[in-house]
Structure 1
Amino acid sequence: MLIRILKNPVARKRFSRFKSMRRAYASLWIIGVLYGLSLMAELICNNVPLVVRYGGQFYFPIVSYYSEDVFIGSGKQTRPDYKKLMMSETFHASDENYMVFPPFPYGPFESMDPQTIPVPDEVSLALAPEPVIGTMDVGPDLTINRSRNAEFLAGKGQIGVNGKNLHDFLTLPEELLQSINRRFSNQAAPYGEFIIVDHSGKKVMVSLATFRERSQVPETIRLTFQEITDPGEGQLSIRFNRSLHPVTSKPTLWNQIPEDQARRLLTLIASRFERPVDDYPVTIHNRNYNASFIKEEVRFPYPPVKGHPLGIDGAGRDVLARILYGLRISLSFGLMLVVCSMVIGVMAGAVQGYYAGKLDITAQRMIEIWSALPFLYVMILMGSVYGRSFILLLVCYGIFNWVGISYYIRAEFLNLRKRPFVEAARCMGVPPIKIIYRHILPNALVPVITFFPFSLVGAIGSLAALDYLGFGLPPPTPSWGELLFQAQQYRWAWWLILYPSLALFGVMLLGVFVGEGIRNAYDPKQYQRFQ
């Protein structure tokens, strides 16, 4: 039947229309190439070498299994760690021994050794300014009688602050004024904090201590001011190598640190190369800074570095390998699911539409009952009984996913069963199965073909969603949804969010483009309107 469809001039015309839509045709080729690359993932991303030359013989671990005993005579029948074998003295005993690894020598299940990941051997000295805290004693008319370390509000010395009115420096909110008046009225008042902005635009937090009634009315009230800085504002970082030389282009602030404090900082920096050290206070130009010592260490997940262009996940596995193998699983699952669902749906819809009558009504009621079953609960129940697996997930999805296509096929058969060519076949004594298969089905496949790409996109998205929720493929199976689930746990790991999302979005978008092209090719009126 497929050969007859391909030879059909109408089918050829539709394919020509599809080819003329460049976006859809290019998307089909891109999906095909990506799927082909994913099928050859072992030749692209793998921690197993393609070829091993050892002891004068050639081995091909990519296609054959070799135990550890073959190479080192340990008696173990387990698969050897080829990377450790390549670095061993036994392997380097002969210059003729060598291994050829794929372009990305990392497998989807391999956990990286932190010592093999290149990180700069440097210590960063981070200097963060400490917020300035000061106090002012003010009278009932808000005249400043005495101040301590509050000159930052006026930008002048203490002599210029004392005797001035608080309104000269700050715009006081009504709530703060009421709280001050309650204290000068000798009324109990709770602790209060107010964030205000001075005349220079600087944010300041003003706090008032808890006040209780006294025997005499207070003459002054103390206000505490704390400078508010945005996170990262004023922070400086200077990187040092093991020679204790700054590698920052212009460490101007370092040259302004007093000599005794600079020597102490260098001592702490040298110690940080070997062990963690505590923060250290530094004073530069009468401004207090908190000095912290940061040495980059490998902790998973780890951002993209040389050799791992897409980063490393929380288990130390290469994200590129996980995405590539996940592409193969996603597309394979989608294709198998859609094909199985459409075969079942076509068979069910064809029987209902051709025979109609009581059989059709009974089957429709049964399908409605079946489609009302909660798929997710069934999936959880089956997974808890039989364990999660690719086949179980495919079966559970397949027994529910065929319902939609059966409706379309049923409608097509109900429309075609009374056509003259079908009646003529019946009059000639053609068996019903042959009428369904040879005469009606080829003319009823339009919805199957047009819905195929969209069903594939839906299957890929559903698999990713189930893996994200933890009801999909069992770990450590490579999966885009599992990477996105890790991204939820490590929200700072942007590479776990970006790259799997781009892969999922890209494949689904390409599938939609292909489906749009097929739909337009099978709808001449719509095709002409777009043209």
Structure 2
Amino acid sequence: MALSPLNQRRWRNFKANRRAWWSLWIFAVLFGISLCAELVANDKPLLVRFDGEWHVPFLRFYPETAFGGDFQTEAAYRDPEVQCLIMTAGSQACWDDPEGFLAEARDKGTVEGQPVNRGFILWAPVPYSFNTINDIGGAAPSAPDAQHWLGTDDTARDVLARVIYGFRLSVTFALVVTLLTSVVGIAAGAVQGYFGGWVDLIFQRVIEIWGATPTLYVIIIVAAIWRMNFWLLVALMVVFGWTSLIGVVRAEFLRARNFEYVRAAKALGVTDRVIIFRHVLPNAMVATLTMLPFLITGTIGTLAMLDFLGFGLPASAPSLGELTQQAKDNLQAPWLAFTAFFTFAIMLSLLVFIFEGVRDAFDPRKTFK
């Protein structure tokens, strides 16, 4: 569907803002990688070819017996014995010396002069998931090395894998919360500002009471009663965050409700719903979009703060706030602090630049060359 001339002008203005345009591309690449985190960082192979058949372990459960083993439990693909079974199509000789057997099969294609039917294992670029406990052969956290590019945390989990999954979690959480709070806040502010009078007065008193509620205390109480999860935390953030846009939208509607074109529309019999959404709301979007960067970055910061304090998502979740808390507790491991800082700095800067470009594109007074 072709864009209207107005939206075409907005799109040209956004593309002309080079900082916003390049920030959008960089963020899209980073977020796209994080959306495919299971293909980028996983402790299960992406593909396994065994005995002429293909398997996708990162999507499906395969017992060890499927590869010639003895157990019905899921195959431990990082175990040299399981790798030996896969690479040699179930040869039982691998149980005696799995590492030596596997090395000889890989190098020569034969074991003791006998050919073997070698299998195939395709690993992700980062062969660890966010919750993989690694055998680092020393104390954790461990410094960056060839196996763990950003080191490990204090429970020997790969930091790079946790950053990839944590980036996706933080951005998804912020976008979902911002979308829901914006819908509720804009609708409430539009009704309050358009109708005014007693509607405006009652809404203002409700907002004053609701805004005085200690959000952090409520979240702490809820976390003590129920096990916190993603959607419960989203619901709490929306319940206490929907008032953030009401003031801006209300002011724009109070100003626009007395404009001549609004009075003319009312005189022609246009319904209030059409006037609100078609005539007044587009003019209020500039002020609304001005607040979006603060809402998104504030939501990411709130999630990190709650995880840092221990009242957010479970400790097993790939949280950037939990990584920051580990950096505080392990000052002898500066790579944790540097990773958390640069992850937040890059993510929040890109989002701010993008939404600044969106705001300016909707502003008819600004035109980029």
- TM-score class, shorter-chain normalisation, is 0.7 to 0.9
Instruction: Specify the alignment match of 1:436 in structure 2.
Output: 276
SS in 2 for 1:99: strand
Q: Does 1:512 align with 2:349?
A: no
Contact 2:42 2:129 in 1 (8 A): yes
How far apart are the structure 2 equivalents of 1:323 and 1:302? Answer: 16
Contact 2:185 2:243 in 1 (8 A): yes
Instruction: Specify the alignment match of 1:341 in structure 2.
Output: 181
How far apart are the structure 2 equivalents of 1:28 and 1:418? Answer: 38
The partner residue of 1:106 within 104, 118, 128 is 128
Structure 2: any 5+ residue segments left out of the alignment?
92-115
Instruction: Specify the alignment match of 1:261 in structure 2.
Output: none
The partner residue of 2:309 within 442, 463, 469 is 469
Contact 1:346 1:405 in 2 (8 A): yes
How far apart are the structure 2 equivalents of 1:72 and 1:58? Answer: 15
- 1:96 and 1:364, CA in 2 relative to 1: closer, same or farther beyond 3 A? same
Which protein, 1 or 2, shows the higher relative CO under an 8 Å CA cutoff with sep ≥ 6? 2
How far apart are the structure 2 equivalents of 1:86 and 1:73? Answer: 7
Instruction: Specify the alignment match of 1:42 in structure 2.
Output: 38
Question: Which deviations, in whole Å up to 9, do the C-alpha atoms of 1:236-259 show, x marking residues without a partner?
Answer: xxxxxxxxxxxxxxxxxxxxxxxx
The partner residue of 1:308 within 139, 148, 155 is 148
- 1:300 and 1:410, CA in 2 relative to 1: closer, same or farther beyond 3 A? same
Question: Which deviations, in whole Å up to 9, do the C-alpha atoms of 1:431-487 show, x marking residues without a partner?
Answer: 322332233223322223232233212211221121111111111101111111111
TM-score (norm 2): 0.86
How far apart are the structure 1 equivalents of 2:215 and 2:61? Answer: 40
Contact 1:309 1:320 in 2 (8 A): yes
Counterpart of 1:99, as a letter, is I
How far apart are the structure 2 equivalents of 1:348 and 1:474? Answer: 33
Contact 2:69 2:85 in 1 (8 A): no
- Give, in angstroms, the shift of residue 404 of structure 1: 1.7
Instruction: Specify the alignment match of 1:486 in structure 2.
Output: 326
Q: Does 1:96 align with 2:118?
A: yes
The partner residue of 1:425 within 253, 261, 265 is 265
Contact 2:50 2:86 in 1 (8 A): no
Q: Does 1:56 align with 2:52?
A: yes
Structure that is richer in helix per residue = 2
Q: Does 1:83 align with 2:105?
A: no
Contact 1:450 1:519 in 2 (8 A): yes
SS in 1 for 2:49: strand
How far apart are the structure 2 equivalents of 1:303 and 1:435? Answer: 61
Contact 1:35 1:327 in 2 (8 A): yes
Q: What is the aligned-residue identity percentage?
A: 40
How far apart are the structure 2 equivalents of 1:18 and 1:322? Answer: 33
SS in 2 for 1:53: strand
Instruction: Specify the alignment match of 1:19 in structure 2.
Output: 15
- Give, in angstroms, the shift of residue 501 of structure 1: 1.0
Instruction: Specify the alignment match of 2:109 in structure 1.
Output: none
Contact 1:454 1:511 in 2 (8 A): no
How far apart are the structure 2 equivalents of 1:524 and 1:421? Answer: 18
| Map 1:146-225 → 2, pairs under 5 A | none
Q: Does 1:400 align with 2:237?
A: no
- Give, in angstroms, the shift of residue 311 of structure 1: 0.4
Contact 2:75 2:82 in 1 (8 A): no
Instruction: Specify the alignment match of 2:61 in structure 1.
Output: 65
Contact 1:86 1:98 in 2 (8 A): no
Contact 1:86 1:99 in 2 (8 A): no
Counterpart of 1:62, as a letter, is F
Contact 2:67 2:86 in 1 (8 A): no
Contact 1:454 1:515 in 2 (8 A): no
- Size of the aligned set, in residue pairs, is 342
How far apart are the structure 1 equivalents of 2:334 and 2:177? Answer: 32
Question: Which deviations, in whole Å up to 9, do the C-alpha atoms of 1:353-386 show, x marking residues without a partner?
Answer: 1211101100111011001101100111111112
Task: Please identify the structure whose Cα radius of gyration is greater.
Answer: 1
How far apart are the structure 2 equivalents of 1:339 and 1:447? Answer: 16
Q: Does 1:449 align with 2:289?
A: yes
Counterpart of 1:342, as a letter, is S
How far apart are the structure 1 equivalents of 2:75 and 2:47? Answer: 14
How far apart are the structure 1 equivalents of 2:86 and 2:259? Answer: 79
SS in 2 for 1:28: helix
Contact 1:14 1:521 in 2 (8 A): yes
Instruction: Specify the alignment match of 1:409 in structure 2.
Output: 249
Instruction: Specify the alignment match of 2:107 in structure 1.
Output: none
Counterpart of 1:396, as a letter, is L
- Give, in angstroms, the shift of residue 70 of structure 1: 3.2
Instruction: Specify the alignment match of 1:299 in structure 2.
Output: 139
Instruction: Specify the alignment match of 1:199 in structure 2.
Output: none
Structure that is richer in strand per residue = 1
- 1:442 and 1:299, CA in 2 relative to 1: closer, same or farther beyond 3 A? same
Instruction: Specify the alignment match of 2:299 in structure 1.
Output: 459
TM-score (norm 1): 0.61
Contact 1:334 1:459 in 2 (8 A): yes
How far apart are the structure 2 equivalents of 1:397 and 1:436? Answer: 27
Contact 2:46 2:57 in 1 (8 A): yes
How far apart are the structure 1 equivalents of 2:53 and 2:265? Answer: 67
- Give, in angstroms, the shift of residue 504 of structure 1: 0.6
Contact 2:69 2:82 in 1 (8 A): no
How far apart are the structure 1 equivalents of 2:153 and 2:169? Answer: 19
SS in 1 for 2:317: coil
How far apart are the structure 1 equivalents of 2:74 and 2:174? Answer: 32
SS in 1 for 2:153: coil
